[in-house]
Structure 1
Amino acid sequence: MSEAARELVIVGIDNAALSPLLEILEERDTISANQLRLLELEDSEVEPQVFANRNIPVQELEKFTFAPEQVVVLLRTGEVAQAALAAAEAAGAWVLDAAGNTRGDETATLIHPLLNSAEIAHAERHVLALPSAGAAMVAEAVAPLAESLQAVDIQLNQPVSALGKVAIDSMAAQTARMFSGQDAEVDPAIGHRLAFNQLSAGEALLASGHTLSELALVHDLRRLLGESVAVDACINTVSVFHGQLANLRVALHEDVDLEKVRALLGNGARLQLAEQPSAEDAVGSEATIIGRLRQSLLNSHQVNFCAVSDNLRKDLAMNCVQIVHLLLKNY
């Protein structure tokens, strides 16, 4: 079947990543408007989405019939998303889980388009998983150091958009109320004010003291970097809408040669070097920006630096589009 006859099906329209995903699909001419199908729950009130100067209607997920010529992207979680995944896989379609539905399922092949896209050809199932935005950024940032990498300790400052569209809307409403001199209404699911705040954790703590997102970040990085690399992570939520920043403590197998490390990072795919990057510098960009490179004062084998990126556009939408392109073209 020709590429022109293929369809891209996106499940989950009420997602903060949808807008940049559609923008990049259109910018790169990955598909035509005739090839795009948008699905949402039957009782959802979702307006048609504009793509390539066309209004694309949003169809009812429960009534949709999946087919083998489709590539299905999951932007939604929950039982309905799990059912859609099973139905699409049973129909012979390729499924790309961009929402964490397959987290912990080793039979779903984790794909970062810059690091291991060749693994698609050896996938056990027609089900691929996209790394979390934080894992995707960190994996890119440390990939040039892979030959000497021993351990990575991550302090990730994630934006509110990492918690979902509901959290974005909640912070916007809280900000407006506070500027009007009113008390901000706190979302009980989060338990803290999002506006003008920093959260030590954006979700419930597990018995280990980690959050599920922190363990998911560690899990994704171990799959991308290899089990021989030790990984630990802490995720804080900061009061910005978009753009993530990670402070990385990277242990190498030998003493740090700072100029060598700088040269390796400078040649990394989609990496840019800057002296003092901020998350704002990366919003709207297609690059991960590396900065504040320095040798640790505690360990001669450790180098410290920060990485910033656009969590929605680059680490989710762009990576998703690149995988979709490969599936439509080659599989």
Structure 2
Amino acid sequence: MSEANRELILVGVDNAAFPPLLEVLEEREIIEAGQLRLLDEEESEVDPQVFANRNVPVESLEKFRFEPEHVVVLLKSGAAAQAALAAAETAGAWVVDAADNTRGDESVILVHPLLNTADIAAAERRVLAMPGAGAAMVAEALLPLRDQLQGVEVTLNQPVSALGKSAVDAMAAQTARMFNGQEAEIDPAIGHRLAFNHLSSAEAPLASGHNLGELALIHDLRRLLGEQIAMDATINTASVFHGQLANLRVVMKEETEAEKVSARLRNGARLKMTERPSAQQAVGGEETLVGRLRQSLLSPKQVNFCAASDNLRRDLAMNCAQVAHLLLKNY
């Protein structure tokens, strides 16, 4: 079947990554409006979405019938998304899980469009998982150094949008109330105010002291970069809507001058060196900003630097669009 006759199915219109994904699909002319189908749960009443100057209706997820020629992108998790994944796979469609529905399932290939798309040809199942936005950014930043890495410690400052659209709405409401001299309502699931705050963890810690998000970040990085690299991670949540920044402490196998590390990073795909990367500077861009590179005072083998990117557009929407395009074109 030709690429023009295939359809892209997006599940989860209310996801924070949906608007930028729609923008990327249109800007890059990956599909035509007639090839796009939008699905959400039946009880949700969602207005038609504009794509390529056409209104695309949002259809019932429960009533939709998947076909082998479909490429399905899951932007939401939960029971309805799990049922859709099973139905789509049974129908023979390709499924791209961008919402952790297959977390922990080693039979599903984790795909980063810059690192390992060749693995798709050997996939056991027609289901692919996308790395989380933090893992996608960090993996790109570390890729030029991969063969020299002994260990990496990541401190990821994630934005509120990493917690989902409901968290973005909650922080907006809290901000408005506080500007009006009112008490901010706190989501009991998070346990802290999101507005004008910096959380050491947005999730409850496990027995080890890590939380699930941190363990998922480590797991994704090991799958993408190799099990031989020692990993540790901390995820903080900053009181910004979009844009993420990671401080990376990198231990090399041998003593390495910071200038040599800088040269490798300058040649990295989709990386842009800048003196002082910031999340705000990265929002809206299509590159990962890398900078503040310096030799560690703790060890001659350690180099520290920062990476920043647009977590929604750059690390979710663009990566999803690239993988979906590849499936529509070649599989």
Counterpart amino acid of residue 264 in structure 2: L
Alignment correspondent of 1:95: 95
**Structure-2 residue corresponding to 1:290:** 290
Is residue 226 of structure 2 the alignment partner of residue 221 of structure 1?
Answer: no
> In 2, Cα distance between the equivalents of 1:197 and 1:121?
45
Alpha-carbon distance in 2 for matches of 1:13, 1:250: 38
SS at match of 2:62: helix
User: Following the alignment from structure 2 to structure 1, what is the Cα–Cα distance between the partners of residues 297 and 327?
Assistant: 46
CA distance in 2, matches of 1:242, 1:196: 14
Q: Which residue of 1 aligns with 2:231?
A: 231
Specify the code of the residue in structure 1 equivalent to 2:297: L
Q: CA RMSD in A?
A: 0.6
Partner of 1:22: 22
Question: Structure 1: 5+ residue runs without aligned partners?
Answer: none
How far apart, in 1, do the equivalents of 2:24 and 2:103 lie? 25
Write the distance in 1 (CA, Å) between the matches of 2:24 and 2:218. Answer: 28
- SS of alignment partner, residue 37 of structure 1: strand
Distance 1:48 1:211 in 2: 38
How far residue 276 of structure 1 moved from its aligned partner, in angstroms, is: 0.7
State the 1:108 CA deviation.
Answer: 0.6
1:57 counterpart letter in structure 2: P
2:241 aligned partner: 241
Q: Which residue of 1 aligns with 2:177?
A: 177
Aligned to 1:141: 141
Deviations 1:106-135 (A, max 9, x none): 111000000111111111110000000000
Matches within 5 A, 1:1-331: 1-331=1-331
- Give a deviation string over 1:221-278, Cα, whole Å, max 9, x none: 0000110001110000000000000000001000022111101000000000011111
Q: Secondary structure at the match of 1:316?
A: helix
1:187 is displaced (CA, Å) by: 1.0
Q: Distance in 2 between matches of 1:79 and 1:141?
A: 34
C-alpha distance in structure 1 between counterparts of 2:265 and 2:294, whole Å: 13
Q: Secondary structure at the match of 2:112?
A: coil
Which SS does the other structure have where 1:63 is aligned? Answer: coil
Q: In the TM superposition, what whole-angstrom CA distance separates every residue of 1:36-86 from its partner, at most 9, and x where no partner exists? A: 010000101211111101111000000000000000000010111111001
Give the total of aligned pairs.
331
Q: Runs of at least 4 residues of structure 1 off by over 3 A? A: none
Mapped to 1, the partners of 2:152 and 2:131 lie a distance apart of: 17
Cα distance in 2 for partners of 1:249, 1:258 equals: 12
1:146 CA drift (Å): 1.1
2:189 is paired with a residue whose SS is coil
% identical aligned pairs: 72
- CA distances 1:173-226 after superposition (whole Å, capped 9, x unpaired): 000011111111111111110000010101121111111111100000000011
CA distance in structure 2 between the aligned counterparts of 1:189 and 1:56, rounded to whole angstroms: 34
Counterpart of 2:249 in structure 1: which amino acid? R
